[in-house]
Structure 1
Amino acid sequence: MTTRFVVQRNDLRTTHWEESPAPSLDDGEVRLRVDAFALTSNNITYAALGDMMNYWQFYPTGDPDTGHVPVWGFGSVVESRCPGIEVDERFYGYWPIADDVVLQATAVHPGGFADGAEHRRGLHAVYNQYVRCSADPGYRADAEAQQALLRPLFATSFLIDDFLADNDFFGAQTVILSSASSKTAYGTAFRLAQRGGSVTVIGLTSPANAEFTRSLGCYDDVVLYDDVASLPQVASVYVDMSGDTAVRTAVHRRLGDLLAYSCAVGATHWDALGGGGDLPGPPPQLFFAPEQARKRAAEWGPDGLQARIAAAWTAFMARIDDAEHPWMTVVKRQGREAVEQCYAALLDGAIPAKEGHILSV
């Protein structure tokens, strides 16, 4: 039997577990056990923006009212009918919350393969790649948790920073990030801070996360959501990780035409999403990381892009795992109840910012 976690697409709090007979394999298919995966606010963004950004399409349920929330993590091959992929090999990639999954392996090469299932062919290729751990220069068996939790988020952080710098920060001198305690936000702040003060970085956060956000040391200032009216009135870029309509409106009203660019990235405040109406300043623009990745891969070559991300990742990991002041504590749990509890806590915003949760069904 195959067990999967199913979410009601129009009511993210309504979930259930679904069991179905494990399908037999056709030629070219592989069955992988989903060993461990990260569950973070990033996955809540996938669910909240599932229809807009096609995240529900990666693992369709067959029911247009329900979906599988995709997650990043590791899987091991338990059965293969694909030459070049052997039983017990381990892969990093994009999975459903489940105990196993069958993938249509195509474009097999020493570094991994792509899922060539018909329903995924029109989706962005970056999500369809499965990386063979034995051939991944960035893989460390003792750092699987950090990779699952942070690698996809940090890639987005790298590309946001690169996009802003590529556009000369739209002439701004300050970058404001909402949901500043989130991993994608502080990864972006870390990258911006590496630029040696070329811009001022301000984090917006809740009172509950203010101490943690300040402790990171990568923000020049931390401002509470209720204090948006105190933001300095200088040329600024707003990077919206929260998706919170009220916060976005407050930032636009405070800065008006001083807002050089408004960038929508995430939806950590998934229950506060909505249209902003007529906002002062520039209309928010959706940031889709794979587009910037495609641009840079064309300019630098795919290997050049990956080399730059890898170097940045190494520096970031040194800070994450700092012996005296680590930025993240890994929490590992197993079983259906653990998944349900973590998912519900993420919806409620109740996971401490310092924690990173690794789960398995």
Structure 2
Amino acid sequence: MHTTTRFQVRKDQLATTRLQTVDDPPLADGQVRMRIDRFALTANNITYAAFGDAMHYWQFFPTGAEGWGHIPVWGFASVVQSLHPGVAVGERLYGYWPMASGAVLSPDRLSPARFTDAAPHRAELPAVYNQYFRCDTDPLYTADTEDLQSLLRPLFITSWLIDDFMADNDFFGARTLLLSSASSKTAYGTAFQLHQRQGIEVVGLTSAANVAFCESLGCYHRVVTYDALDAIAADTPCVYIDFAGNGGLRTAIHTRFTDLRYSSSIGGTHVAQLSAKGAGKDLPGPRVTLFFAPSQIQKRSAEWGADAFGRRMVAAWHDFLTTVADARQPWLRAEHHEGGEAVQAAYVQVLAGRGDPRTGHILSL
């Protein structure tokens, strides 16, 4: 009998967690059982939880228990049992998983590169989250960078799409872009891309403790602390890209900058500060607009073709990874946490926004 250990959180109180170990039901024909080997936990996953109801993230891996949710994570898993003729035991996959030791998938639309989970409850959810990539043929996969892939791959794809979206809209007529939470992985991935654009000034906003780290990355033209916004001229035509969801900071940005051209909300890691005012209601300046990566994927795939979209993304990823993994000054190092207690401790740290920005958490249950 197989068992699965699951890490669950209260949807209305993200600091309340529990571990459950349950017996697995038998597989149905066409299903495969996965052992989840490792997954990353980042501020991005806290965003999934913070927007779990609004953006349907809780629906991917339902717990069956009222009020409790599985936070989705990205990582690697191996097939340990298969009742599907097209998926072999031992195959390794990259994709979207619950915080658990295992999962069951219903593979459909198989190709040499990937397949889709056709579980009925996922049919109406964004397709980008339902795809599982077969490591043997995945152009983004290398065996020695699994940790960095788990930590950065989904975030960098979002970063790459934010940069593309901004360029696609001519940066809304601005040439200065303000990025909050500049030490976060999605922010500095975005800054890495934007820094390659001619005539664009990338300004990183961060806490005093993270100034040196952000400056060391070399992808921000300027790094400014949150309490020093007056170092930037108030009439600067600018775009605000908010990676934190800090309502107080968003209000300060909208109030100070009289020529704010666009305000983009990417994440919500400051859970306690996701208030109605912070959500963008009754603020001066442009309406706060939530960036939804799958929409830009759909647009560009239609315009460029799926193959061309994939080639561009793969090239950008390898360029980014080369910089991040540079042995002379790596941007990120992985820290492993194994077992329920270690996973809970890492979750508490990430939820609170504590820790060294150079450290990435890799978990297994």
- Give the TM-score category using the shorter length: over 0.9
State the partner residue of 2:88: 86
Question: Match for 2:106: what amino acid?
Answer: Q
Deviates more, 1:78-87 or 1:264-273: 264-273
Q: Residues 140 and 317 of structure 2 are in contact (CA less than 8 Å); yes or no, is this contact kept in structure 1?
A: no
Matched ranges for 1:100-119 at <5 A = 100-119=102-121
Specify the code of the residue in structure 2 equivalent to 1:227. Answer: A
| 1:261 aligned onto 2:262 | yes
Counterpart of 1:76 in structure 2 is 78
Q: Does 1:207 align with 2:208?
A: yes
Check the 8 A contact 1:43/1:69 in 2, yes or no: yes
Secondary structure of the residue aligned to 1:98 is coil
Deviation at 1:63, TM superposition (A): 2.5
Picking from 293, 296, 299, the partner of 2:297 is 293
Question: For residue 324 of structure 2, what is the aligned residue in structure 1?
Answer: 320
Instruction: Give yes or no for contact 2:179–2:204 (8 Å, CA) kept in 1.
Output: yes
Aligned partner of residue 114 in structure 1, secondary structure? strand
Structure 1 moving runs of 4+ over 4 Å: none
1:228-267 matched pairs, under 5 angstroms = 228-233=229-234, 234-256=236-258, 258-267=259-268
- What percent identity do the matched residue pairs reach? 54
Does the 8 A contact of 1:231 with 1:254 survive in 2? no
- After the TM superposition, which residues 169-184 of structure 1 pair with which residues of structure 2 at under 5 Å, given as runs? 169-184=171-186
- Once the two structures are TM-superposed, the CA of residue 232 in structure 1 deviates from its matched residue by 2.4
Equivalent residue for 2:147? 145
Moved more, 158-167 or 130-139: 130-139
State the Cα distance separating 1:55 from its structure 2 match: 0.6
| 2:138 counterpart residue number | 136
Ranges in structure 1 where 5+ consecutive residues have no aligned partner: none
* Structure 2 unpaired stretches of 5+: none
Q: Tell me the equivalent position of 2:50.
A: 48
Q: Deviations over 1:262-310 (max 9, x none)?
A: 0000112122112233111101001000100100000001111111111
- Aligned-partner Cα distance in 2 for 1:306–1:338: 36
Q: Give the counterpart of 1:333 among 334, 337, 340.
A: 337
Contact 2:30 2:83 in 1 (8 A): yes
Displacement of 1:335 after TM fit?
0.9
1:333 CA displacement = 2.0
Q: TM-score, normalised by structure 1?
A: 0.98
Aligned to 2:36: 34
Aligned: 1:347 with 2:348? no
Aligned pair partner of 1:67 in 63, 66, 69: 69
Q: TM-score, normalization: structure 2?
A: 0.97
Across the two proteins, how many residue pairs are aligned to each other?
359
Q: How much does 1:228 deviate?
A: 2.2
Counterpart Cα distance in 2 of 1:275 and 1:359: 33
How far the C-alpha of 1:231 sits from its partner, in A, is 2.4
CA distance in 2, matches of 1:51, 1:225: 30
Contact 1:179 1:268 in 2 (8 A): no
What secondary structure, in the 3-state scheme, does the structure 2 residue paired with 1:267 have?
A: coil
CA distance in 2, matches of 1:207, 1:278: 29
